[in-house]
Amino acid sequence: MAKGHRAGAAAASAVRRRAGRTKPESAEPRNQSDPTEPTTAASARPSRRAVLTGGVGAGVLVALPDVLVAAPARAAASTPGSAAATTAPPAHFFLYGSTGPSSPPAVQGWRPPAARNAPAPAPRTVGTGLAARPARSADGASVAFPTVLTGPGGADVTLSVVDAASGAVQTEATVHLPGVPADASVLVRPVFAGAVTVALVIAVSVPSGWHTFRKSAAAGTAVVTPSANWTTHHVLAYLDRRTGTFTGPFDLADAPSLAWTDSVADAENLYLWTIREPAVSVGTKAEPLPAPPVRLLTFPLGSARPGRSVRSAGTWPGGATGLVLSTGDVVRVVDGRDLEVYTPGSDARSRRVRFAELQMDTAKAGATNLHARPDGTLVITNAAFGRALVVDPAAGFRTVAALEFPRPRISLGGPDAKSALSPDGSVLYTLGSADAGGLSAYDLSTGALVAAYGDGSHYSGVYRLPSGTVLGVAGAETGSRLGFLTADLSLLGTVGTDMYVAEVF
């Protein structure tokens, strides 16, 4: 069977879907649109299947070598008898986003400083037609991405697991979902569960009652748009990375549900936040019903049914990934400023932890990032607030340090990563101020600014790669621009790409 990610050139623009009454929700709520309606005589809008098979806008995953690793590896590989030639391939990171309809992903305009002579990183397309954003394992050694093909017999979901060192596919397997109609929307969330398992949380949204309506644009023209009612249920499947085989699929029979879920897993359980579809659960204006509660379900790995279900203390799921802490607690960010904490066990319960330092109002929304430090503490940053907290789960999530930094121009949109943490947890990297742009680095123990870089660019994402490279992502007129810097924010080089980068793994 042909795989969607072997299709060659990637399709353009949208990698996420709009949420709405007439469409299923997407696991990617904060990016461009991705039409899901089938093509009709009254509308030229493409079907989701056409989107994923090329020509209009599907996700693409591209591997790039880390510039701090690639040059030494190439030098060692050129030395006769060097073990590095066969045992130490360059480490890679991965760009997820979209690109033009007629050209494969490319980089151009590599500009290293005059004192350096490093060659431009060479991109390699790993997958196209992605059904959702990829996931990276906790140790950073693997990246998993899903693709979907639908047909008369149902839907085939293929999961590919890629080695981050070589950029090559390690494992690839397909699970068949019988009975899924060709015009259904199938959204897939891969979740790494320990070193052996990758769980798939699959939202299957089935349309009914197709009709069209006329929508008047601001220019006065009328557009005929197809619409339908969507009903979503969830399916689970579990990939064993050792054997390359799936357990499942298991239909949770939870229709009608919200397609979005939040999730995280450890080596024993999959934790899944879900909620019944609010649009059909709140009654009518004349006879309103209470909003349905969010449920936190605990599935033993490989299981079709939850071993435990509790009421969540948090808000609706929105496609986020939680954390499993060294204490055994499971946490996720709620409302951009609080944490929901779930403590498994015989008296399992969910509670909400609020932080006084983050209870502030702002006219601008911002992304919240949650980082785990080697000592077990957590760093919570909110770009719109310009604040970062260090909290200690072992001490009841007490705040042990607080940091203020200038608010960036782009606090929401583009990549989710508005901050990054050094491997030892001592330095926090943030986007530069709304006025100056660039990137900044702060010592979390003192709150002092220890490094800064500025080139007039306003970055929308920042990452710390395993080699120590700091990567900044900025928007460009025809794609994105990447800035490579050392840990002390000295420039290694910049490169343009025709990809619109949504996330880096």
Q: Could you give the CA distance from residue 239 to residue 145 in angstroms, rounded to a whole number?
A: 12
**432: in domain:** yes
DSSP state, residue 87: H
**Quick one: pLDDT at residue 2?**
39
Rounded to two decimals, the pTM is 0.81
Domain that holds residue 462: 356-505
**143: in domain:** no
* pLDDT single digits (tens) 430-474: 999 999 999 999 999 999 999 999 988 899 999 998 888 999 999
**Quick one: pLDDT at residue 88?**
42
* pLDDT single digits (tens) 278-311: 877 666 778 777 788 999 999 999 999 999 999 9
**479: in domain:** yes
DSSP 242-308: TTTEEEEEEE----SB-S--EEEE-SSEEEEEE-B-GGGTSB-SSSB-PPPPPEEEEEETT-SS-SE
CB neighbours of 448 closer than 8 A, spacing ≥ 6?
442
**Quick one: pLDDT at residue 111?**
62
**Quick one: pLDDT at residue 392?**
95
DSSP state, residue 164: T
**220: in domain:** no
10-residue averages of pLDDT along the chain (505 residues)? 36 28 38 33 37 48 78 40 40 82 54 59 83 88 92 92 88 94 91 95 90 76 81 95 94 91 94 88 75 92 94 87 90 91 85 90 78 94 93 94 93 90 95 93 95 92 90 86 92 86 90
**Quick one: pLDDT at residue 363?**
57
> What SS3 class is residue 402?
strand
**Quick one: pLDDT at residue 105?**
55
**Quick one: pLDDT at residue 472?**
94
Domain count, the chain: 1
Looking at the DSSP assignment, which residues form a beta bridge with residue 464? 470
**426: in domain:** yes
CB neighbours of 114 closer than 8 A, spacing ≥ 6?
none
- Which run of H or E residues covers position 75? helix 67-77
CATH number assigned to the domain comprising residue 371: 2.130.10.10
**346: in domain:** no
**457: in domain:** yes
